[in-house]
Amino acid sequence: MDFFFFHLMPWPHLPADYDGPAWVKCPNTNYDPKRGHEAYNRYLDELLYAEELGFDGLCVNEHHANAYGNMPSPNLIASILARQTTRCKIAVVGNALPLYNPPLRVAEEFAMIDVISGGRLIAGMVVGGGPEYYSNGLNPAEARERFYEAHDLIVQAWTRPGPFTFNGKHYKLRYVNPWPRPIQQPHPPIWIPGAGSLETMEFVAKRRYAYMGIPYFHKRVFKRNFDFFREACEKEGYTADPKQMGWLTPIYVAETDAQARKEYESHFWYFAKKLLPGIEISPPGYTTARSALKILTSRNDFMLYLEHWDQVEEGGYAIVGSPATVRQRMEEMIDTLGVGNILALLQLGTLPADLTRKNMELFAREVLPALRKHTPRPVAEARQAVGA
């Protein structure tokens, strides 16, 4: 198992009476730069502390124009980590390729991070969420086509000797010749998040990249998606390595189950009810009409629509409890999902610095070592046991 500490860098100061979306149109007058200075630096401290505590990697991601996550440029954060850490993998999950013009910039910046860090980058690549297409003018109906072409350009930029010409439909470059080139060969590992589209899974399986389950769904959704991904790998003629799958989950550990829920619950609801609203925006053409319809009609399984704590526990939307409880729940999930990467979201919403630290320490000292020793039951056996 590999354990990653994932930070979203949220804005924890939305006014209590604000009930609009956190994405696209949340007025940026709500952003106080002085408090932002404190927040960024506190969050960076937490990322560095995670390396001290023994995590295998650190994750940051890209979102624009919202209160949910304040990293429109995750590469800026990753470059700080490249310089200030020595051991951890640095996973940018991921650059929203169509938002870079040209996407060659992703190849260049990722190469810089990889070289400065001594070969520790994990290159995540995403299409960019629906809201991002409202925030930056790119045509959502072209999003996926651009993503695939941009991916090809970036991988070629890393692996073909330059200068060479790239003549795509969207990107036409006469001289592709990036300096620097990445340290890792043939290129940094590539992670691609997915929310269930078969096309994405087939793409990842074919190229032997790693598939990250997009979070905030009921655990049955993750299970189904990872099962489909494993099938996609079998169709390609190989058995998926658990390290090709990653599960991002909010986790909170405290001394007892009761204390954990008491300390965590209000911060969880700030996240679910103030930071998630707006994330579900799906602009025209962003997915096929059939997929958009499927999304519209499957609200039951998404964190945004939860109302009671019981649902959080039942669906595994967050793993909350004493060290023993969290260990046990996570062992079950690892067995059920068959994942080899845990992306632990240990800071969430308004969770303050002191509780975040305590959470990180309890997880790193009381939970992580036991999980490292846990031998996952083969997935088939686990499915039989839970009557899947």
For CA atoms 216, 341, 71, 168, the dihedral sign is negative
Binds other proteins by CB under 8 A, chosen from 202, 283, 324, 371: 283
Total residues contacting other proteins (rule CB under 8 A)?
A: 17
Question: What residue type is 337 in one-letter code?
Answer: L
> Should residue 284 be labelled a site residue for other proteins when binding is judged by CB under 8 A?
yes
Among residues 4, 6, 110, 134, the one that binds other proteins under rule CB under 8 A: 134
Lookup result for tokens 């169509």:
98
Token representation of residue 65: 């124009």
Q: Considering only residues 296, 380, 385, 386, which one is a binding residue for other proteins as defined by CB under 8 A? A: 296
Does position 27 interact with other proteins (CB under 8 A)? The reply is no
Whole-number CA gyration radius for the chain: 20
Nearer CB in complex with other proteins: 189/283: 283
Q: Is 197 in the site for other proteins (CB under 8 A)?
A: no
Question: How far is residue 193's CA from residue 374's CA, in Å, rounded to a whole number?
Answer: 25
Residue 335 and residue 377 in contact, taking contact as beta carbons nearer than 8 Å: yes
Tokens 């078969």 found at? 198
Which residue lies nearer to other proteins by CB, 84 or 298? Answer: 298
Show the 3-state SS of 65-95.
CECCCCCCCHHHHHHHHHHHCCCCEEEEEEE
Torsion sign over Cα 228, 234, 236, 238:
positive
Q: Does 258 bind other proteins (CB under 8 A)?
A: no
CB of 98: closest distance to other proteins in angstroms?
A: 13
User: CB of 300: closest distance to other proteins in angstroms?
Assistant: 11
Q: Which is nearer to other proteins, 115 or 292 (CB)?
A: 292
Judged by CB under 8 A, does residue 140 bind other proteins?
yes
Q: What's the closest the beta carbon of residue 287 comes to other proteins, in angstroms?
A: 9
* Contact call for residue 137 and other proteins (CB under 8 A): yes
- How many residues are given for the chain? 388
Residue 183 touches other proteins, criterion: CB under 8 A: no
In this chain, which stretch among 153-161, 288-296, 343-351, 369-377 interacts with other proteins, using CB under 8 A?
A: 288-296
Structure tokens given for 95: 């650059």
Q: Is 290 in the site for other proteins (CB under 8 A)?
A: yes
> Is 368 exposed, middle or buried (CB count within 10 Å of its CB: 0-12, 13-18, 19+)?
buried
Terminal CA-CA length for the chain: 24
- Contact flag: residue 26 with other proteins (CB under 8 A): no
Nearer to other proteins, 43 or 68 (CB): 68
Identify which of residues 36 and 285 has a Cβ nearer to other proteins in the complex. Answer: 285
Interface with other proteins by CB under 8 A: which range of 54-62, 134-142, 268-276, 347-355?
134-142
Going by C-alpha positions, the residue among 259, 282, 275, 132 that lies closest to residue 216 is 275
297 binds other proteins (CB under 8 A): yes
Question: Which residues sit opposite 122 in a β-bridge?
Answer: 91
Note the residues at the interface with other proteins (CB under 8 A): 134, 137-142, 281, 283-285, 289-290, 292-293, 296-297
